Amino acid sequence: MSIESSRLFIAIPIDEQWRQQLTQQMTRLQPKLPFQKWTHPEDYHITLKFLGDTSVEQYERLSKLLTHVAETTQPFQLTLTEWGTFGPHASPSILWAGVGGDLLPLMNLQQYIDNSMTELGFLKENRDFHPHLTIARRYKGDSIPFSITNLVPHVSESTLYKSVNEFKLYESHLQKTPMYEPIASFTFSK
């Protein structure tokens, strides 16, 4: 973490099996879908809360608060599900892989974190939580509008379940690849 402040977010890391499966599917998709930026496989995660610029003073309190959240959370299971987009249908801003499984504990964890962060001066999220992994950004197929139906033959739902027993605090390094560095882990204690 830098001396004055860092750009931070809280997320669930993914395991190597998910990373491999997503990388295989991404490799098949890249030649067919002209997105401007594809997520580096080491950067896959499920965002729980984006914090943005965080001071050293906030970080110390943040760490204590997140430890408490983790201590009161039980492990749960997730799996990869459907693929989708955010933004205009013909020219989406985000291509994502969705998650399924034990969604209620995931939603509760996200809400708990979001509510807890107001104590540190972070604003509550004003959008509904849609758990996903960002695969690509900024569709650039000007001559060919994007179609989710063209995507379906190239991707498949996962039968891999991931046991979620921690979340991490990440620092963004916008000019590096991979760009997200885990700086703290918070393991569930129940």
Q: What is the tens place of the pLDDT at every residue in 109-161?
A: 999 999 999 988 898 988 899 999 998 888 777 667 776 666 655 555 556 78
Both tokens of 184, joined, read 């703290």
Phi, psi at residue 99, to the nearest 5°? -125, 150
Pick the CATH number of 5-187 from 2.60.120.560, 3.40.50.2000, 3.40.47.10, 3.90.1140.10: 3.90.1140.10
Sign of the torsion angle spanned by Cα atoms 155, 156, 157, 161: negative
Q: Which neighbouring-strand residues pair with 12?
A: 46
**pLDDT band at 3, cuts 50/70/90?**
very low
Q: What is the largest CA-CA distance in the chain?
A: 52
Q: Catalytic pick from 45, 89, 154, 173?
A: 45
pLDDT of residue 187: 96
For residue 45, indicate whether it is catalytic: yes
Given a contact cutoff of 8 angstroms between Cβ atoms, the answer to whether 113 and 70 are in contact is no
Q: Catalytic pick from 40, 132, 154, 173?
A: 132
Res 58 pLDDT > 50: yes
pTM for this prediction: 0.89
Both tokens of 157, joined, read 């739902």
